[in-house]
């Protein structure tokens, strides 16, 4: 049984964000359902990022609180577009967190990903080279 937030699952004010590989783990789904049963305020859509296509789908817990069903439309579409715009950031950050135990290394490479993939800023030539060198150490 999972006792803390699973790696790859992030809670946001209006939704949960998770990559498909993590979502396919039944323990993660059971953990979310257990959190929802504690408080109805935890009922939020789950935005699932496909690692290959970087496209998102959404699911919501069913009325029996024992599984999930796909949802679409309205605000969910907006959440999906927001997550798709930062999918590279989410997936790269998760890859670093799971791949290297050195905290200083993780913080350094995540700063580059944050600038490039979250804030959509252009990296300088020097930053690109440094990032490439760091990625080789992953």
| All structural domains of the chain with their residue ranges | 9-85, 87-136
Tell if the pTM clears 0.85, that is, is over it.
no
Helix (H) or strand (E) holding 48: strand 46-49
- The string of pLDDT tens digits covering residues 10-46 is 888 889 999 999 999 999 999 999 888 888 777 899 9
Query: What is the rounded CA–CA span in Å between residue 65 and residue 63?
Result: 5
Supply the pLDDT for residue 1: 57
10 Å Cβ neighbour count for 65? 12
- The string of pLDDT tens digits covering residues 57-113 is 999 999 999 999 999 988 899 999 989 999 999 889 888 888 877 888 989 999 999
């Amino acid at each position: 049984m999972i006792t803390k937030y699973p790696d790859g699952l992030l809670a946001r004010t209006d939704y949960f964000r998770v990559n498909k590989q993590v979502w396919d783990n039944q323990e993660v789904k059971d953990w979310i359902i257990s959190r929802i049963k504690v408080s109805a305020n935890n009922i939020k859509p789950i935005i699932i990022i496909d690692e290959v296509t970087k496209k998102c789908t959404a699911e919501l817990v069913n009325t029996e609180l024992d599984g999930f069903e796909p949802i679409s439309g309205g605000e969910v579409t907006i959440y999906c577009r927001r997550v798709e715009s930062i999918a590279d950031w989410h997936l790269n950050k998760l890859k670093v967190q799971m791949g290297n135990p050195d905290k200083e290394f993780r913080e350094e490479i995540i700063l580059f990903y944050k600038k490039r993939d979250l804030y959509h800023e252009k990296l300088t030539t020097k930053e690109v080279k440094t990032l490439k060198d760091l990625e080789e150490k992953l």
